Structure 1
């Protein structure tokens, strides 16, 4: 899979290194040579210095063969411009743009550009850590999908299968008395156990209310 990353700031450089190590073919474009140098001599991908939305630079980076374009500069105008060029001119199969200013997300939505907003995601995670006792957000997969860790405060044990069916989630981990297991569908989830599950945001409050809220004795 071939990925072009636009912008080599903290997010772009980290993405480039991680994806490269994982085995993806990665190219990075940035107008600032100092930022590109941060990737170091051990970076296995390609680096291109120049205006991020310049067609010659994009062609040199191989945009016609790209499977993904990730526009992650700190400048929303650049991210929007590159995303539209990649989408409308070169028909890149998948384009994801970073939203720097959450108030401008509606522009991306109007242009039908897939986005990620680190600022908003960070705010949401911190808000949940403050407000939700017995629940921790481990990762935000998409704006509407999260991986959460939840401490069960329900007294009547229930099975993994019943939890998954009732709350429309995937339970991938279970910790009981400091012992972690990948649970079977018929395994009971006792009071005090920690579960790790992937769940839609719209279903999260339901599982929290039912399983993680303290129950008065």
Structure 2
């Protein structure tokens, strides 16, 4: 049997933290390894408990979720931990900052339990979790702010088709939606996505979205 996905939950609201832990622990393929209420504690616990996924709130005392995510999953971290940010939509700017800090995805706190569980499994598998509609509103809203003033071009230029796929990723489209838009197969889309990530040295689709907006490749 495959070992269960080890999950650590960090949220400063005890009721929410307990609810998340109850939902997660009821799944045979998931295992709660710990919970805590501030960013400093989650960094310390992650170092001891070695979770596969950290479910992270954004606004917390001592150390906020963005700073904690950067310490757990940011650039240069020797053994990065996958972080799934779970927050309220009115904190969308904080969510964007968390994605830049290294989070593998995000969900809203009012998401149904099935979506939370799917999110944990998706992030644990190495994939990114981006809800298309929320992505459009979140990143699009801050596009002007995050795009560099000098309009820097990519260091390793993509082919016209790869640029087209990258723009659609930045619009929040899933692989199936990209395939339908470009009238190509989903397997072909997966190949393009893989090439884009490799050429640009990106970890996942989250970083691809951020890259596209930072380099003026999306509107």
TM range (shorter): 0.3 to 0.5
Larger radius of gyration: 1
How high is the TM-score relative to the length of structure 1?
0.37
How high is the TM-score relative to the length of structure 2?
0.36
Q: Which has the higher helix share?
A: 2
